[in-house]
Amino acid sequence: MTDSGHLYEHPDRNLALELVRATEAAAIRAQPFIGKGDKNAADGAAVDAMRKFLGTVDFDGVIVIGEGEKDKAPMLFNGEHVGTGRGPACDIAVDPIDGTSLTAAGRQNAISMLAASDRGTMLDASSVFYMNKIVTDADGIGVIDIDRPIGDNIRALAKAKGKDVGDIRVAVLDRPRHQQLIEDIRAAGAGTRLMLDGDVAGGINAARYGTRIDMCVGIGGSPEGVATACAIKALGGFIQTRLAPKDDDERQKGIDAGLDIDKLFEADDLVAGDNTFFVATGVTDGGLVAGVKRLGPIIRTESIVLRSHSGTIRRIEADHLVSKWL
């Protein structure tokens, strides 16, 4: 029997379809703060809403990647248990707003996101804040190598896709540390899509078919890399990363936490197993999902829901009565 036949004959619970209520709630509560210049107020409202809704879900979640250490984050801190405690035991990565500065400024590509996997499968890379990443769709498997020059990777991906190098588009965070990388991408003949923030959405768009992004590269947050891997496994895409400690002290901190600083991490190293979930709801409009909008008596949200076990990608558009929320 094929996998699809097996899934049809023995359907099971898709936890992500319940978790999406938590990202919807975070996005809705952040909506009044879009463009108001106060990223902390937006984040605080989103954190509070996400935590409340996670508490209604029948699962035993432990936050591996959250808002920070317990003494610095009053809610959704690393190690916190969420859910009712009944049901599957899961590791959780949360970011009530990936792109708080984008939200405060009213710029595009802010999302509320949550990723989950079976207990003990998610890499805790919180001791090293940054990692170098490269993400593509399935065409990059066996073709891309993060240790090769970016020009070589661009040419190899173009060949695998049957495209001209000039038609390749590479997403990269617009940061001073990426100046040489951006120059090298353009020198190879490819085009760049510079992101102000939010490389999770950039990575997912690189792995999805039918987008304008072919590759996402550069140094970004380690927590975001692990969350992205949960989505990449559902999309059948390609991801490689290497930790990028900012100094010797952080390198030692990572070693003390049990991390192999020199290891090349692939999808299965970042999150093991074949049961990963990723959900995201738009806070502001972006290439991945539309932002939350107030339309008279309703608030409209758009979410994307990914699950690796079933290989499904769902888009959920929901209308919520304003009177119930704000």
Task: Round to whole Å and give the CA distance between 316 and 96.
Answer: 18
Cα 132 to Cα 190, 210, 313: the distances in Å are 20, 25, 26
Would you state the pLDDT for residue 13?
74
Tens-place pLDDT, residues 187-229: 999 999 999 888 899 999 999 988 999 999 999 999 899 999 9
- Residues 93, 122 contacting (CB under 8 angstroms): yes
- The tokens describing 155, both together, are 């040419």
Would you state the pLDDT for residue 254?
95
User: What 8-state DSSP symbol labels residue 165?
Assistant: G
What ranges make up the beta strands (E) of 203-272? Answer: 215-221, 238-243, 265-266
Known binding-site residues equal 43, 67, 95, 98-100, 130, 175-177, 197-199, 221, 224
Would you state the pLDDT for residue 220?
94
Short-list 243, 313, 229, 239, CA closest to 274? 229
CATH of 130-270, one of 3.40.50.10860, 3.30.1370.60, 3.40.50.720, 3.40.190.90: 3.40.190.90
- The tokens describing 275, both together, are 């049961």
Known binding-site residues for substrate equal 98-100, 130, 175-177, 197-199, 221
- CATH class of the domain defined by 14-120+275-324: alpha beta
Domain with CATH 3.30.540.10 in the chain: 14-120+275-324
- The tokens describing 254, both together, are 């990572």
Q: Which residues contact 78 (CB under 8 A, 6 or more apart)?
A: 63, 64, 65, 66, 68, 69, 70, 124, 126
Domain with CATH 3.40.190.90 in the chain: 130-270
Do strands 298-307 and 312-321 pair parallel, antiparallel, or not at all (unpaired)?
A: antiparallel
Would you state the pLDDT for residue 199?
87
SS3 62: strand
List per-residue pLDDT tens for the chain, 326 residues long: 345 555 545 556 789 899 999 999 999 999 999 999 999 999 999 999 999 999 999 999 999 999 877 656 678 999 999 999 999 999 999 999 999 999 999 999 999 999 999 999 999 998 999 999 999 999 999 999 999 999 999 999 999 999 999 999 999 999 999 999 999 999 999 999 999 888 899 999 999 988 999 999 999 999 899 999 999 999 999 999 999 999 999 999 999 999 999 999 999 999 998 899 999 999 999 989 999 999 999 999 999 999 999 888 999 999 999 998 87
> Phi, psi at residue 101, to the nearest 5°?
-65, -40
What ranges make up the beta strands (E) of the chain? Answer: 60-65, 81-82, 89-98, 111-118, 130-136, 169-173, 191-195, 215-221, 238-243, 265-266, 277-282, 293-295, 298-307, 312-321
Would you state the pLDDT for residue 141?
97
Helices 222-235 and 199-207: crossing angle in degrees, nearest 10, is 20
Q: For residue 3, give the H/E element and its range.
A: helix 3-9
Known binding-site residues for Mn(2+) equal 43, 67, 95, 98, 224
Find tokens 């690393």 and name the residue.
Answer: 78
